[in-house]
Structure 1
Amino acid sequence: MLSSHCLNDDPWNKFPFTGFVAMISAVLTLMVDSITTSVFSRSGKEEPHADVASAYTPDQEMGRSHHGDHGLNLSDDKELGSTLQLLRYRVIAIVLELGIVVHSIVIGVSVGATNNTCTIKGLIAALCFHQMFEGMGLGGCILQAKYEWVKKAVMAFFFAVTTPFGVVLGMALSKTYKENSPDSLITVGLLNASSGGLLIYMSLVDLLAADFMGQKMQQSIKLQLKSYAAVLLGSGGMAVLAKWT
């Protein structure tokens, strides 16, 4: 959108603003991810059992409270490592939810504001695939975070309603929102680039890298090759959808 012919050549067509904004967004996401993880890790070290009690079953709590002095330090180290890993999963879930929410609202506004029937059909088809895979990824992160059911329900609710909310907002703004106007193209383009950079960072660093560098994946070259093929196939499929729409 930022390279549209409807925008002035200077500066929009003389500099790749989409890639630049996506890069800045990815770096800012790294900063937020790193600082948030650091803060959560410090709080976890100071009070290692304060925020993760719900992640343990009553039997696990009983076992933790009645273990003997033998191997106490080793057990505490393992518990601290598990606590920090759990906090890490929660940071990933929160940041990923934020990026998906922003991106979903922008997509919903685009669908609701357009008056072109052909465009709507393509966007809805792409939206179904897009939201399905995003939901699968976010759902896995939420399960790993081991939130209480109330927090899980809230996060699932926001994921479910943001796109319809964007569609309704786009329909309400359809009379004043002009899809090819410079202001609309710049606004939507910047939001798409920002959310795209955030999601690229999350998918590569916090999701794919964590899986590919895991013990199970590292023990099997065949599994790695199959996983790489699946990633490339999925990326190609989404690229085809983007080109089609």
Structure 2
Amino acid sequence: MSSTFSDILPTPTDALPGDSDHSHDEEHNCGAGGGADTLFGLRVAAIFVILLGSTLGALFPVLARRSSWLHVPKGVFDFARYFGSGVIIATAFIHLLAPGLEALGSPCLAEGWHEYPYALALCLLSIFCIFVVELIAFRWGTTKLAKLGLYHDAHGHAVGSHAAHGPEGDLVDGKAEQSSDLEAHKPTYDNSTIAQMIGIAILEFGVVLHSILIGLTLAVDEDFKILFVVIVFHQTFEGLGIGSRLAYLRLPEKYNYVPILAALVYGITTPVGIAVGLGIRSTYNPESTTASIVSGTMDSISAGILIYTGLVELLAHDFLFNKEMMNASNGKLAYALGSMMLGCALMSLLGKWA
């Protein structure tokens, strides 16, 4: 085949940004320009509405699971957990990778951007970078445990996984036995703690980049009303997915504040993005060449992070590497799969509008 990638993606016209013929710039609004300046009061109100929705979505599962008086049935937590996995996976593909492809395929970009699938390449690079970082961290943590004479379950590092509970017993004649050394070192969950902290940081980083871009776009987008409603649901669902994961983290007592802090950080990112967008609304044009490159790059990198996290850390460890799920009844397995698919379906549907 002699066709190139430029045959697939939209190609720029002969008049590039900066040429004397500005018809292309005006048609696609590729200049520095500014965003929409209408409904300013409602856009300001959106800061607080989204702050409330996203923070409650992320924080409620964490506080509910710790509460001694609020007895939330385990089935509800399970629903939120698997629903959240579906949300995160759909976010990666529909709300990050697709916009990344669109932004880096913008007609406003120079012809060179259309000769290679840069969005997919950045996503792929992101996946492998996250994998290498985790691999190095786990090897370092395992070595540290080995020096203490402790055994580490290679599949016990999932974010929020029931298996992520620290050292296992040594295998003697094919049977797991708890040694006295192990008992003496029980409070030391170095590798499990490191693994979960890395998992939180990876998931949070990908979502935070995405949330800031959402806020910037909402602040200056012309179709504000529709986008506002969609983003309220989007951020609440995504917050529920992250919060349900944070609620199941098993960390030493001195790190109990980490899930709450992570939930609060998630809650403020989109409102911060909206506030910044409103502050620069007279100069920030989300369709400009620079904005397309920046948002496309960030979306593609974030997509890689959430694809890795969603498929490896959440999906695989929730079902394939989770002994409880592998031994569960068909009804429980169907409930978990149904919850996950519902979250994926609803988040994918929101992609029709945002």
TM range (shorter): 0.7 to 0.9
Instruction: Tell me which residue corresponds to 1:242.
Output: 351
CA–CA distance in structure 1, aligned partners of residues 237 and 304 of structure 2: 16
AA of the residue aligned to 1:36: A
Identify, as 1 or 2, the structure richer in helix: 1
> Are positions 1:117 and 2:224 aligned together?
yes
**Unmatched 5+ residue regions in structure 2?**
1-101, 151-177
Question: How much is the aligned-residue C-alpha RMSD, in angstroms?
Answer: 3.1
* Matching residue's letter, 1:202: T
For residues 11 and 137 of structure 1, do their structure 2 counterparts lie closer, same or farther at Cα, with a shift above 3 Å needed?
farther
- Tell me the residue number matched to 2:94: none
SS at structure 2 position matched to 1:106: helix
Choose the corresponding residue for 2:117, options 8, 13, 16.
Answer: 16
Shift of 1:28: 0.8
1:145 aligns with 2:145: no
From the CA coordinates, give the structure whose radius of gyration is larger. Answer: 2
Which residue is equivalent to 1:26? Answer: 127
1:182 is aligned with what amino acid? T
- How far 1:224 sits from its partner (Å)? 3.4
The corresponding residue for 1:37 is 138
**Cα deviation code 1:172-208 (max 9, x no counterpart):** 1211111211211121111011111101111111122
Question: What's the counterpart of residue 64 of structure 2?
Answer: none
> Equivalent residue for 2:324?
216
Deviation of 1:6 after TM superposition, in Å, equals 3.1
Q: Distance in 2 between matches of 1:239 and 1:199?
A: 15
Q: What amino acid maps onto 2:327 in structure 1? A: Q
- Which stretch has the larger CA shift, 26-35 or 14-23? 14-23
CA-CA distance at 1:19 after TM superposition: 2.3
Match of 1:191 in 2: 298
Alpha-carbon distance in structure 1 between the residues aligned to 2:348 and 2:146: 43
Q: Partner of 2:235 in structure 1?
A: 128
Change (3 A) 1:15 1:228: farther
* Letter aligned with residue 33 of structure 1: E
Paired residues of 1:87 and 1:145 also in contact (CA < 8 A): no
C-alpha distance in structure 2 between counterparts of 1:10 and 1:216, whole Å: 53
In the alignment, the residues of structure 2 paired with residue 48 and residue 166 of structure 1 have an alpha-carbon distance, to the nearest angstrom, of: 48
Percent identical pairs in the alignment equals 21
Higher relative contact order (CA 8 A, sep 6+): 2
**Residue type matched to 1:236 in 2?**
A
Cross-structure match for 2:266: 159
Sort the Cα spacing of 1:10 and 1:39 in 2 relative to 1 into closer, same or farther, 3 A: same
> What does residue 59 of structure 1 align with?
none
**Aligned length, in residue pairs:** 223
How many angstroms apart in 2 are the aligned matches of 1:48 and 1:102? Answer: 40
Matched letter for residue 15 of structure 1: Y
* 2-structure distance, mates of 1:155, 1:21: 26
